[in-house]
Amino acid sequence: MMLLMREILAMIAFASAMVFGIGGLVGLFRFPDPYSRMQAGSLCGTTAVFSIFLGTLILAPSAAMAARILLIIFFFLLSAPTGSYIVARFTWNAGTSQGKPLRNRIERIADKRQGGEAE
Amino acid sequence: MQVERAWRIIRFVITTIALFITWFLFTADFGLFSLTTGMVGSLLIAAITYEVFIARHQANLRFFIPHPFFLARYLFVIIFLLYQSSFRMLIAVITGRASPRIVHFRTRLRSDLARMILANSITFTPGTITLDLNDDHLTVHWFFCNTIHAKAVGESVKGRIERHIGKIWL
């Protein structure tokens, strides 16, 4: 009974990881400017990997294994945002502009695809 | 000169303890051989790297030794924020409704470690990503921007997290 409970919880964690991963990927291609793409990619990617770790933590067979997974989670929480920060910092230092407000850009792209007047 | 020397020894000891705890968590072994090897390795590595692990100018123990209770509470807060921001981001991906802008503000935190954790936490919180951290000045890309006034931005982006971190480190 206990094992079944744990497996169900782990499945929920893995499923949410999948949803976040796909959402981040869609955002990566959907948004127009580099910073927004970075937002979607890094944030949803971090949450996806974190959910997978949470699932493995629930399924961990022994306390020693769980302690190791906790340690890995700790290091991952430190390193993942640092990685995206380095990419963002170099984008910022290279002088990339932040672009126009998002809504108008997406509408304009949609207009272009429908063959309407773009600006 | 004496103070300098004492500070060196304190930094060396703290680095050794941190390394040994990490070793112990990974091995989870009480055997004499394992403990001796870990201790010798920790001492050697600490002797080489204590200058990097704790910089000389971080001259206060509360700059890098966390308050355990507040640290544990903060971990849960940050996990909650992580999921909340991911849900908001998913909604933004689906609807395409957002107002991204680059904003600037300053922080009150004083130690390097606390500032680094603050920058990392900002990357976790709803729709913000840290672009630059210069002393106490942060440049942040904010995805759901509604103001560009530095104080208002600082309060809504980092107000809560900064108060949490201020209790853990100085």
Report the pLDDT value the prediction gives residue B93, as an integer from 0 to 100. Answer: 83
The DSSP secondary structure of B72-84, one letter per residue, reads: HHHHHHHHHHHHH
Report the pLDDT value the prediction gives residue A118, as an integer from 0 to 100. Answer: 44
Contacts of B90 in chain A (CB under 8 A): 19-20, 23, 44
Contacts of B127 in chain A (CB under 8 A): 39, 43
For residue range B69-125, list pLDDT tens digits in order: 888 888 888 888 888 888 888 888 888 777 788 888 888 888 888 888 888 888 887
Contacts of A68 in chain B (CB under 8 A): 25-26, 28
**pLDDT above 70 for A107:** no
B141: nearest CB among A88, A93, A103? A88
Helix or strand holding residue B140 (H, E): strand B137-142
Domain ranges of chain A: 2-113
Report the pLDDT value the prediction gives residue A99, as an integer from 0 to 100. Answer: 65
**CA nearest A90: which of B103, B135, B131?**
B131
Report the pLDDT value the prediction gives residue A119, as an integer from 0 to 100. Answer: 41
CA B116 to CA B161: how far, in whole Å?
A: 13
Helix residue spans in B28-60 (DSSP H)? 32-53
**CA nearest A45: which of A19, A70, A74, A67?**
A19
Our CA dihedral for A82, A92, A101, B84, rounded to 10 degrees, sits at 10
Least confident of A92-101, B83-92, B125-134: A92-101
B96: nearest CB among A39, A81, A102? A102
Neighbours of A52 (CB within 10 A): 18
Report the pLDDT value the prediction gives residue A13, as an integer from 0 to 100. Answer: 93
For residue range B26-45, list pLDDT tens digits in order: 887 788 998 999 999 999 99
pLDDT mean over B51-63: 76
CA B29 to CA B86: how far, in whole Å?
A: 38
**pLDDT above 70 for A81:** yes
Mean pLDDT (chain B) is 84
Are the C-beta atoms of A102 and B145 separated by less than 8 Å? no
Mean pLDDT (chain A) is 82
Report the pLDDT value the prediction gives residue A56, as an integer from 0 to 100. Answer: 93
ipTM of the complex: 0.76
CA A60 to CA A70: how far, in whole Å?
A: 11
Q: Which residue has the higher pLDDT, B165 or A98?
A: B165
Closest residue of chain B to A75, computed from CA coordinates: B22
Contacts of B83 in chain A (CB under 8 A): 47
Beta-carbon separation of B143 and A36 below 8 A: yes
What confidence tier does B159 reach under pLDDT thresholds 50, 70, 90?
confident
Q: C-alpha distances in angstroms, B139 versus B102, B134, B165?
A: 7, 9, 19
Least confident of A32-36, A48-52, A80-84: A32-36
B130: nearest CB among A78, A88, A106? A88
A20 in B contact zone (CB under 8 Å): yes
pLDDT mean over A20-41: 85
Q: C-alpha distances in angstroms, A23 versus A11, A38, A43, A55, B109?
A: 18, 13, 10, 19, 34
**pLDDT above 80 for A109:** no
**pLDDT above 70 for A116:** no
Are the C-beta atoms of B102 and B131 separated by less than 8 Å? yes
For residue range B107-123, list pLDDT tens digits in order: 888 888 888 888 888 88
Q: Which residue has the higher pLDDT, A106 or B28?
A: B28
Contacts of B137 in chain A (CB under 8 A): none
Beta-carbon separation of B100 and A101 below 8 A: yes
pLDDT mean over A5-21: 92
Closest residue of chain B to A35, computed from CA coordinates: B141
pLDDT mean over A55-71: 87
Please report where in the chains the tokens 């991952």 appear, as a residue: A76
**pLDDT above 90 for B130:** no
